[in-house]
Amino acid sequence: MLQGDATRLSFEGGTYSLQAASAAAATGSSDPVVPVAEAPAAALPEPQTEGRTSLTIQEIALAAHIAKDLPPDTEPGLSATYFFEPKNFTFPFGTHIAVVEVDRETGDIKFLRYVAVDDCGKVINPMLVDGQIHGGIVQSIGQAMYEEVVYDEQGQLITGTLMDYAVPRAHHVPHFELDRTETPSPGIRWASRVLVRQVRLVLHPLLSEPSLMRCRHSVLSISTCP
Amino acid sequence: MIAAQFDYKVPNSLEEAVSLIAADPDGSKILAGGHSLIPAMKLRLAQPQVLVDIARIKSLAYIREQGDEILIGATTTHYQLESSALLRQICPLLPLCAASIGDVQVRNKGTIGGSLAHSDPAGDWPAAALALKAELVLIGQGGERVVKADDFFVDFLTTDLQPGEILREIRIKKPTGKFGHAYEKVPHPASGFAVVGVAVNLSLKADGSCESASIGVTGVGVKAYRPNGAESALSGSSLNDAAVIEAASHACDGVDLNNDLFASGEYRCHLAKVHTRRAIAKAKASAK
């Protein structure tokens, strides 16, 4: 499976939360090629060596490309482009719980625990799945607590450097306690689900206004803090 | 983000450095760790003609006891101060302050002298220097002079250093008797600079009441300062909760408050009061 390489793929949307993995899982990579390979079978040469009953892929490819004895209406070559449309879209799901301590005097938020259980169907590569979840949590913490693009009245960007625009670093984020369930996705052959960075959608309301962040900005009238 | 053109000189001794900047006192700048000056040059807020790099003068980096004083060379790095077993024992405020600065890379490169000479309104060392009533030794072609920290920080990014002078040494009276130190800081989440930093140096009587207190506050105004109202409220007090709260309420009296995107002046002042109270309580708890 190839993804994220515009020099080799005519159409590609980036890894986009492992969508390509899910698509590959859904189709099975050999499926689209098989009908093409069968088509010129009549034109294939006999194995040259006595007792051999099979051809190498190189021999088949050569015969398909030279196209000397292809049957009528058969396209030369041995490639196929296949567009896949699933029977239905798939969605991951999960629950994230952030246990935080709010300093009522300063509005500071401190994570005590962060527990997340997500389900993206059949897991193909656990490391990539965990990586998607780590990334989603950290982006969410950034969005909810630190990151903001701010322009002044003249339209000048005033959070233009990493000295002003806070991207969360390691010491800003808690230890993640992760677990998963694997609910097979109906209609997808390998039962995987696209693990969209839906984590962000989960976490953002947890930490952002109008809940915890209000504390920080209204610490001077702390009664509004939930 | 590209600095203007400059000459770069690397003297081998302090004497050579002094004569190099004497050649062009107004156009020269001293470079040590470069963690204040280089960013300013990249933004072209500073455009020195000549950089005189003193970081390689080995004899300028030291921490030693001499009589009743602690002597610190100007190019001593934050990390050297943070990790000094001697300082942890005799003057813990210095390692506490050092440990709060930036990250490991910054602490390995940045120097105490550079930070003090820059007088960034959000720098950490000015607060500690004020709380410890440090004296700063400045050297120029005319000789040396010693300036009290109270007189050294003049204004926004401005110190008493005159053109042609180099900050050579920081001198601190060794705390004696029963004393307690604390440094409380709210770092800016992006830059790590102090939104508010409070350094407290408490001297206690045998009964646990306060003999004297000196406090340095950074991040709140155009320069670091000592909140005199807070210090005098503590002096002679019992250091009970009411006394500490009363003292902390004076943390930003009369200060022209900084106001930026991250924290309004009102919020900064509020944070200064909260963290002054907490720093006093920590210093009291650590006293021995």
Residue B250: give its domain's CATH number.
3.30.390.50
Chain-centre distance of CA A119, in angstroms? 13
A215-220 average pLDDT score: 45
Of A108, A158, A163, the CB nearest to B190: A163
The structural domain count of chain B equals 3
The band of A64, judged by pLDDT with boundaries at 50, 70 and 90, is: confident
Q: Do residue A165 and residue B271 have CB atoms under 8 angstroms apart? A: no
**Which distant-in-sequence residues (6+ apart) come within 8 Å of B244 by Cβ?**
B234, B277, B280, B281, B284
- Indicate whether B216 and B256 sit together in one domain: yes
Cβ-Cβ contacts under 8 Å, B186 against chain A: 106, 108
Domain closes at, from B173, B206, B228: B173
Between B39 and A14, the higher pLDDT residue? B39
How many residues are recorded in chain B? 288
We report the CATH number of the domain holding residue B107 as: 3.30.465.10
First-residue to last-residue Cα distance in chain B:
49
pLDDT of residue A25: 52
Of B39, B267, B275, the CB nearest to A220: B267
Place of tokens 């390979």: A37
pLDDT of residue A38: 55
Q: What is the largest CA-CA distance in chain A?
A: 91
A→B interface, C-beta within 8 Å? 105-106, 108, 146, 150, 158-159, 162-167, 172, 219-220
pLDDT of residue A217: 43
B263-288 average pLDDT score: 96
Tokens of A195: 């693990």
- Indicate whether B186 and B262 sit together in one domain: yes
Q: How many CA atoms lie within 13 A of B101 on its CB side?
A: 31
B156-165 average pLDDT score: 96
Task: Tell me the shortest Cα–Cα distance from A131 to chain B, in angstroms.
Answer: 24
Alpha-carbon distance values, A13 to A3, A86, A89, B135, B190 (Å)? 8, 17, 17, 62, 32
Of A38-47, B57-66, B137-146, the one with minimum mean pLDDT is A38-47
Cβ-Cβ contacts under 8 Å, B275 against chain A: 106
Nearest-Cα residue of chain A relative to residue B275: A106
Tokens of A7: 């020099």
We report the CATH number of the domain holding residue B27 as: 3.30.43.10
Q: Does B1 fall in a domain?
A: no
- Indicate whether B67 and B163 sit together in one domain: yes
Between A201 and B126, the higher pLDDT residue? B126
CB B53 within 8 A of CB B12: no
Nearest-Cα residue of chain A relative to residue B39: A163
Q: Do residue A166 and residue B261 have CB atoms under 8 angstroms apart? A: no
When the pLDDT of each residue in chain B is averaged and rounded to a whole number, the result is 96
Q: Do residue A219 and residue B267 have CB atoms under 8 angstroms apart? A: yes
- Indicate whether B111 and B43 sit together in one domain: no
pLDDT in tens, B174-233: 999 999 999 999 999 999 999 999 999 999 999 999 999 999 999 999 999 999 999 999
pLDDT of residue A62: 85
- Indicate whether B64 and B168 sit together in one domain: yes
Percent of chain B with pLDDT strictly greater than 70: 100
- Indicate whether B155 and B133 sit together in one domain: yes
Cα–Cα distance, A42 to B177 (Å, whole number): 101
First-residue to last-residue Cα distance in chain A:
48
Cβ-Cβ contacts under 8 Å, A173 against chain B: none
Nearest-Cα residue of chain B relative to residue A103: B274
Q: Do residue B190 and residue A167 have CB atoms under 8 angstroms apart? A: yes
Question: With a cut of 0.85, is the ipTM above it?
Answer: no
Q: Do residue A164 and residue B266 have CB atoms under 8 angstroms apart? A: no
- Indicate whether B18 and B95 sit together in one domain: no
Of A192-196, B20-24, B54-58, B133-137, the one with minimum mean pLDDT is A192-196
Cα–Cα distance, B203 to B211 (Å, whole number): 5
Nearest-Cα residue of chain A relative to residue B1: A161
The band of B140, judged by pLDDT with boundaries at 50, 70 and 90, is: very high
pLDDT of A223 strictly over 70: no
CB B160 within 8 A of CB B151: yes
- Indicate whether B145 and B204 sit together in one domain: no
Cα–Cα distance, B274 to B257 (Å, whole number): 16
- Indicate whether B184 and B169 sit together in one domain: no
B270-280 average pLDDT score: 97
Q: Do residue A105 and residue B274 have CB atoms under 8 angstroms apart? A: yes
Of A2-16, A82-96, A205-219, B115-129, the one with minimum mean pLDDT is A205-219
Q: Output the CA angle B139-B145-B151, nearest 5 degrees.
A: 115
Task: Tell me the shortest Cα–Cα distance from A168 to chain B, in angstroms.
Answer: 8
Cβ-Cβ contacts under 8 Å, B266 against chain A: 220
Of A19-23, A147-151, B267-271, the one with minimum mean pLDDT is A19-23
Cβ-Cβ contacts under 8 Å, B188 against chain A: 166
- Indicate whether B166 and B182 sit together in one domain: no
Task: Tell me the shortest Cα–Cα distance from A189 to chain B, in angstroms.
Answer: 45
Domain that holds residue B97: 58-173
Domain closes at, from B53, B76, B91: B53
Q: Does B111 fall in a domain?
A: yes
Task: Tell me the shortest Cα–Cα distance from B89 to chain A, in angstroms.
Answer: 28
Q: Does B109 fall in a domain?
A: yes
- Indicate whether B66 and B134 sit together in one domain: yes
Containing A130, the helix (H) or strand (E) segment is helix A126-141
Of B186, B189, B275, the CB nearest to A166: B189
Q: Do residue A106 and residue B274 have CB atoms under 8 angstroms apart? A: yes
Q: How many CA atoms lie within 13 A of B242 on its CB side?
A: 2
Q: Do residue B190 and residue A172 have CB atoms under 8 angstroms apart? A: no
pLDDT of residue A140: 82
Cβ-Cβ contacts under 8 Å, B274 against chain A: 105-106
Percent of chain B with pLDDT strictly greater than 90: 95
Domains, chain A, in order of start with CATH, read: 93-224 (3.30.365.10)
Helical H runs in B110-255?
Answer: 112-118, 125-131, 149-152, 228-234, 241-248
- Indicate whether B167 and B252 sit together in one domain: no
Place of tokens 């970081």: B55
Q: Does B119 fall in a domain?
A: yes
pLDDT of A196 strictly over 80: no
Of A72-86, A202-216, B7-21, B50-64, the one with minimum mean pLDDT is A202-216
Q: Does B154 fall in a domain?
A: yes
pLDDT in tens, A148-188: 899 999 999 999 988 889 999 999 999 999 999 988 877 65
**Which distant-in-sequence residues (6+ apart) come within 8 Å of A198 by Cβ?**
A91, A92, A93, A94, A136
Percent of chain A with pLDDT strictly greater than 90: 12
Nearest-Cα residue of chain B relative to residue A152: B261
